[in-house]
């Protein structure tokens, strides 16, 4: 039976996920738990729901979802306000409530795709990419769907489609290198060079990530690799962390890094998943500090791009 991929979003006309104009495919499931994550709906490798309680029309008397949940998760208080029992919703596999809501408060945010369905979408978008564009596999963590992904990559290779990936590189080395054989361009996140701080912010140690990057460079891979760092005040914005990354890059003949300025674009999603957002009131970076870090890299012969100000 052909593999299926669990995907929470597909974006055409993407211009920030690799060279040129691209189609970005967002896989669900991620081994990391970054406290600043912009796509927390991608953490779970299964279908699940998001609930936009702030757009619920309970004040207008809407009770469409009252009896839709077979597990009793949806209730209305005496004043009419909707309440959700998240512990029940997190385990739901039926999603009976989703189709009953006329206001899109309840959303099943993951869909299954076959390889052929993905290829149909890519063929649809092909003429929009231009000479440098193609497809980018992102997430979540696309390596968690490596069996499905390898089938898609082989099809893309046959059709000479440019293939990019945004990945944490947190996977078994055998899996990582097998996938990377088909990749032309890669962003790999290095959140923090300190082992303990990396675990503090992401839930995992960084050894596997760094060793996979080293193995990729030793493998003779011919693609283009850009390291990325979501740059967060108080977590990984120190000169010490920058110099450790510079040392690692020089050791492995890596010469491009992309510093992404911290933002809170994922805050609404955290709320819709019933999660508390660690960085609701701290982590902000100044332009001066971003430029300072950029200078550290440039002074050590490493091309450093801030945000979407990139040459690709």
Q: Summarize pLDDT for 141-189 with one digit per residue, the tens.
A: 999 999 999 999 999 999 999 999 999 999 999 999 999 999 999 999 9
Q: Is 60 helix (H, G, I), strand (E, B) or coil?
A: helix
Q: What is the pTM of this model?
A: 0.93
Quick one: which of 153, 164, 148 has its CA closest to 23? Answer: 164
**Mean pLDDT estimate for the chain:** 94
Report the DSSP beta bridge partners of residue 51. 106
Lowest mean pLDDT among 71-75, 147-151, 176-180, 219-223: 71-75
Least confident of 79-93, 121-135, 189-203: 79-93
Under the banding of pLDDT at 50, 70 and 90, the label for residue 92 is confident
Q: Are 202 and 235 in contact (CB under 8 A)?
A: no
Average pLDDT of 201-224? 98
Q: Does the pLDDT value for residue 1 go beyond 70?
A: no
d(CA 105, CA 23): 27
* 282 backbone dihedrals φ, ψ, rounded to 5°: -155, 170
Contact 4/148 with Cβ under 8 angstroms?
yes
Give dist(CA 202, CA 274) in Å, integer. Answer: 19
The pLDDT of 262-288, averaged and rounded, is: 95
Q: What is the pLDDT of residue 87?
A: 86
- For the cut 80, the answer to whether the pLDDT of residue 138 exceeds it is yes
Half-sphere exposure (Cβ direction) of 12: Cα atoms closer than 13 Å? 12
Domains of the chain, earliest start first: 4-45+113-306 (3.20.20.70), 49-108 (3.30.70)
Closest CA to 251 of 165, 312, 176, 193: 193
Q: What length does the chain have?
A: 312
pLDDT tier, 2 (very low <50, low <70, confident <90, very high otherwise): low
Residue 3 above 80 pLDDT? no
């Amino acid at each position: 039976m052909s593999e299926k991929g669990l995907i929470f979003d597909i974006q055409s006309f993407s211009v920030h996920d690799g060279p040129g104009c691209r189609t970005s495919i967002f896989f669900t499931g991620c081994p990391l738990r970054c406290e600043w994550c912009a796509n927390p709906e991608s953490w779970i490798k299964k279908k699940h729901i998001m609930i936009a309680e702030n757009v619920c029309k309970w004040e207008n008397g809407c009770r469409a979802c009252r009896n839709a949940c077979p597990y009793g998760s949806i209730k209305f208080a005496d004043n009419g306000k909707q309440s959700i029992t998240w512990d029940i919703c997190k385990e739901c596999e039926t999603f009976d409530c989703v189709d009953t809501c006329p206001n899109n408060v309840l959303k099943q945010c993951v869909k299954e795709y076959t390889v052929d369905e993905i290829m149909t979408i890519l063929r649809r978008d092909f003429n929009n990419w231009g000479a440098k564009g193609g497809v980018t596999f992102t997430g979540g963590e696309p390596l968690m769907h490596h069996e499905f992904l390898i089938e898609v990559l082989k099809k893309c290779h046959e059709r000479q489609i440019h293939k990019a990936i945004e990945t944490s590189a947190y996977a078994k080395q055998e899996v990582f290198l097998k996938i990377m054989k088909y990749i032309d361009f890669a962003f790999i996140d290095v959140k923090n060079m300190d082992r303990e701080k990396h675990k503090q912010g992401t839930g995992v140690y960084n050894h596997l990530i760094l060793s996979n990057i080293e193995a990729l460079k030793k493998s003779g891979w011919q693609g283009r690799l850009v390291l990325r760092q979501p740059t967060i005040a108080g977590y990984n914005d120190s000169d010490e962390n920058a110099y450790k990354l510079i040392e690692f890059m020089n050791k492995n003949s890596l010469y491009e890094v992309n510093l992404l300025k911290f933002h809170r674009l994922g805050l609404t999603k955290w709320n819709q998943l019933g999660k508390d957002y660690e960085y609701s009131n701290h982590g902000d970076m100044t332009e001066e500090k971003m430029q300072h870090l950029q200078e550290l890299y440039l002074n050590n012969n490493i091309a450093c791009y801030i945000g979407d100000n990139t040459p690709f």
